[in-house]
Chain A
């Protein structure tokens, strides 16, 4: 079913410039199905910009993005979501005044086929789908350990749970590629460990390909077989955790000092 020779995601020469500022320059990435790659780099290195290009929030200045051989460059975000890319946000963006269940159910919405008329008239197909979506959403909440919070408003949840709810919401779109933008930000070591477990588990369970932006090096080194390092929009290193750890350019970028190009 999945041809491993065909990359799930293929990014070629991705460049994003805002006026004169080049946030991302000539970024390349090829992911095989099921792979997990971490994107690291100092603040402002262009990591989130890459996510915004991949999800259609920004239209790239140059470059090509292909998902399973389909060119999705420049598609609107909702179409890209339907194509199978889901994400979480660095600064949590839940539907704050809606409860946890509805947050997840909204993301499941794109798989509903019943028409508006069927919904208004409460016809059988609508009822069936509504039931199915609700059940699936409960399962996802359970998976991230939030089933008991289903009927609480998103903004009343503790911080760590909001992060997990965002993951459940992303999963509800049934993605093939999941983009996690600093999921461990603001978490204590124990919460981070739980999160690491969770990412591993969902990756396996849903056969997901994952790109992870993270500052917590312990998490990155533990979970990512392959790491890409960005600095000032440029890819400065790529490799296994050991290679990255000993790479002089990476050390320079993180510890400061004159950039040697």
Chain B
């Protein structure tokens, strides 16, 4: 007993220190960015990172938490990008309402297509949503107002590091609060066993569509940030490749872990930049690393575990979780746990 108490205080201090260090770093980066002491190139990477974090976590809500394997996320990003860009450019709307309008437009389309397509399961849903992403792209190419394949430009350069940072914080807060609430648990029930969920009173279709709409909303917001950062958008930026890129972040980080998506988004945004020195071999190394991670950790870097669980959040019930904080069978971060015995990575690999 005494030993575990000591262990607890130790953890508490480590947590405290980590949190402190994180906040300090964040404050420093903000200050430097404000004073203009971070060069444009780095600031640009950080901005793209933030946009990717929003995209990956919002897709993870649909794929990892609700368990609906949808892969047309770039389509919703495109809707947000175009709607907000058109509003700021042609209607001179301020940035915030334009961003929200872009998100709402994406959510509305998500709602409209989610109701019929979410009846499909597994591979069928994946293909339907992939097709959907393409349909959105083709519609944008053919609409007169979007500039078609030539692209659209002329929007004010609203997006900066602070906007993206704010959007990331809001996204993470909303998503993690959602998932740690009664409706969020209903969503997990849908993923675990749709049939059983229905029989305990969870309207499964409603929750699937809800997750899809919320995920689409944030994809739309990310699109708006993207449009006002790059200042030039064309439909080819929102194709299948972009959808796959977002999906890769989700799978690499771990289906069902927001922390995983954040880390994967950071890594997969930074990695190509670090590999610039290798010029021709860049994409080869990038791909090889991905394959390696998937071979070694098929459940993704974080499995279904969140960083606060790894750091021992025991606020969720009396008595704490005896040795369980990392306890996901799909693999906590290399943490030995009892559950791991029944779901080794090998075994999980079979499920894929």
Contact = CB atoms under 8 A, between A and B. Distances in A.
Contacts of A247: none
B196 A89 contact: yes
B166 interface: no
A106 B197 contact: yes
11 contacts: A78-B198, A86-B200, A95-B192, A97-B329, A105-B182, A105-B185, A106-B197, A109-B185, A129-B182, A138-B317, A173-B200
B177 A122 contact: yes
A95 B193 contact: yes
A126 B185 contact: no
Task: Please tell me the size bucket of the interface on B.
Answer: 35 or more
A218 interface: no
Contacts of B199: 55, 57, 77-78, 81, 86-87
Interface stretch (B225-233, B289-297, B318-326): B318-326
A170 interface: yes
B196 A93 contact: yes
The 6 lowest CB-CB distance pairs between A and B, nearest first, are A81-B201, A119-B181, A95-B192, A110-B201, A77-B198, A107-B200
Contact of B182 (A77, A94, A114, A156): A114
Classify the secondary structure of A's interface with B: helix
Interface of B: 173-174, 177-178, 181-186, 188-189, 192-193, 195-204, 210, 304, 316-322, 324, 327-330, 338-339, 342
A76 B198 CA distance: 8
Contacts of B304: 97
Contact of B317 (A96, A126, A150): A150
Interface string A83-99: 00011010001111111
B201 A109 contact: yes
A81 B200 CA distance: 6
A206 to B, nearest CB: 16
Central interface residue in A57, A76, A126, A153, by most chain B CB within 10 Å:
A153
B178 A120 contact: yes
B65 to A, nearest CB: 11
Given A77-B198, A95-B192, A170-B200, A109 B186 contact: yes
A151 B198 contact: no
A112 interface: yes
B185 A106 contact: yes
Contact of B198 (A81, A89, A114, A121): A81
B178 to A, nearest CB: 6
B317 A101 contact: yes
Interface in A122-157: 122, 126, 129-130, 133-134, 138, 150-153, 155-156
A139 to B, nearest CB: 12
B182 A112 contact: yes
A163 interface: no
A120 B328 CA distance: 25
A245 interface: no
Contacts of B197: 95, 106
A156 B183 contact: no
A107 B195 CA distance: 13
Contacts of B329: 97, 153, 155
A112 B186 CA distance: 12
B317 A119 contact: no
Contacts of A1: none
Nearest to A166: B196
Interface string A60-82: 00000000000000001110011
A173 B201 contact: yes
B199 to A, nearest CB: 5
B204 A78 contact: yes
A117 B173 CA distance: 12
